[in-house]
Amino acid sequence: MNFKEKYGQYALITGASSGIGEEFAKQLAEKGLNLILVARRKEKLEKLSKKLEERHKIKAIVVVADLLSGNFLDEITQVTDSLEVGLLVSNAGMMYIGNYLDNSLENDLKMIDLNIKVPAILTHHFVQKMVERKKGGIIYTASLLGYMGTPFASTYAGTKAHEIVKGEGLAYELKPKGIDVLVLNPGLTETEMTSNNDFSGMPMKLMKPNLVAKSAIDALGKKVLVTPGFMNNMMIWMTKRMMSRKMNTKMFGMFMKKTF
Ligand SMILES: NC(=O)c1ccc[n+]([C@@H]2O[C@H](COP(=O)([O-])OP(=O)(O)OC[C@H]3O[C@@H](n4cnc5c(N)ncnc54)[C@H](OP(=O)(O)O)[C@@H]3O)[C@@H](O)[C@H]2O)c1
């Protein structure tokens, strides 16, 4: 069964203007899905939409929205209310790396809103119709860091831990209703998000975003959690089987301190 039959006509992707989200857009278009591309940068979204519509003969609708604004759901639903959104890719996110004490409360709360509250609002909205249609899919982009307390990225890692645990629970609850839930846990990925830090001291290399998005698309419906990359999986294995949580945190603290 192809993606359109299995999930529905449209995939809505947040954070589609760059990085992993842009790759989700390209690869889901290749699978024949129509797209709703959400982010703030209009030109980037329009360029991507044009390219994908021409190349894959699909429809790619642009929604320019700041997901941290109070009315972002209205802006999205103005476009989506008449469409069959069968796949929600909740991918937009922000990260702060640095000393906790140097980050403002305002920025900390923005990160919590974008990484936790926005996916919650979108899930609540789109899951209702998926349940009525008895089919659908939800992908959350979390992070490898969600598996451990991560000094110098404490709040970020906490937001991603939330997505992992929530996704696991939701997957169980929604499977009998025909809805696949997947949590993607990328390790370091070569995107704008990682462009201002030096990760050369980390044990794992930065992955290409196309491989990261592909791992999720391939795993949807088959797994609940997916982590792309051998070294990232080794890291998870070690954190679970070989080291205490305290040791993990200490190790990541040493790595992260050198990145900013
Ligand atoms: N890169 C990594 O190493 C890595 C590792 C693990 C997990 N992740 C996760 O992967 C996801 C995608 O990040 P990425 O690495 O692909 O970084 P990225 O290239 O910086 O992409 C972030 C996306 O989120 C959008 N976005 C940010 N703030 C927004 C807002 N207020 N409203 C609407 N859209 C907003 C950005 O678009 P606009 O700026 O156009 O709004 C952009 O499209 C994030 O959830 C991130 O936490 C990344």
Compute, in angstroms, the gap from residue 196 CA to the centroid of ligand 1. Answer: 14
Which residue puts its alpha carbon closest to atom 34 of ligand 1? 39
Closest CA to 162 of 136, 179, 183, 138: 183
What is the number of domains present in the chain?
A: 1
pLDDT tops 90 at residue 26: yes
pLDDT at 69: 98
Domain residues for 226? Answer: 3-257
Three-class SS state of 231: helix
pLDDT at 239: 86
Tokens standing for 131? 């349940």
pLDDT tops 90 at residue 162: yes
Q: Give every CB contact of residue 50 below 8 A, 6+ residues apart in sequence.
A: 60
DSSP β-bridge partners for residue 88: 12, 138
Which residue puts its alpha carbon closest to atom 46 of ligand 1? 93
Substitution site in 12, 13, 14, 18 for ligand 1 pocket (most atoms within 8 Å of beta carbon) = 18
- Compute the distance between CA of residue 164 and CA of residue 141 in angstroms, rounded to an integer: 9
> Whole-structure pTM over 0.95, yes or no?
yes
The residue-averaged pLDDT of 160-187 equals 98
pLDDT at 240: 87
- Compute the distance between CA of residue 26 and CA of residue 126 in angstroms, rounded to an integer: 22
- Compute the distance between CA of residue 157 and CA of residue 193 in angstroms, rounded to an integer: 14
Compute, in angstroms, the gap from residue 68 CA to the centroid of ligand 1. Answer: 13
Atom of ligand 1 nearest to the CA of 184: 7
User: What's the whole-number average pLDDT of the chain?
Assistant: 97
Atom of ligand 1 nearest to the CA of 44: 40
Active-site option among 10, 96, 140, 156: 156
Which residue puts its alpha carbon closest to atom 43 of ligand 1? 15
Per-residue DSSP letter, 207:
B
Residue 64 neighbours by CB distance under 10 Å:
16
Atom of ligand 1 nearest to the CA of 189: 3
List pLDDT tens digits, range 47-104: 999 999 999 999 999 999 999 999 999 999 999 999 999 999 999 999 999 999 999 9
- Compute the distance between CA of residue 37 and CA of residue 155 in angstroms, rounded to an integer: 27
Ligand 1 site residues, Cβ closer than 6 angstroms: 15-21, 39-41, 66-68, 91-95, 114, 141, 143, 186, 188-189, 191-194, 209
140 is catalytic: no
pLDDT at 260: 96
Cα 80 to the center of its chain, rounded Å: 20
pLDDT band for 195, please (50, 70, 90 cuts).
Answer: very high
pLDDT band for 1, please (50, 70, 90 cuts).
Answer: confident
Lowest mean pLDDT among 17-31, 157-171, 210-224, 241-255: 241-255
- Compute the distance between CA of residue 187 and CA of residue 221 in angstroms, rounded to an integer: 21
- Compute the distance between CA of residue 28 and CA of residue 58 in angstroms, rounded to an integer: 10
pLDDT tops 90 at residue 203: no
CATH code for position 42:
3.40.50.720
Atom of ligand 1 nearest to the CA of 206: 3
Per-residue DSSP letter, 181:
E
Tokens standing for 70? 């109070």
Compute, in angstroms, the gap from residue 22 CA to the centroid of ligand 1. Answer: 10
Compute, in angstroms, the gap from residue 95 CA to the centroid of ligand 1. Answer: 8
Which residue puts its alpha carbon closest to atom 25 of ligand 1? 15
CA dihedral angle for residue 33, residue 36, residue 41, residue 44, rounded to 10 degrees: 30
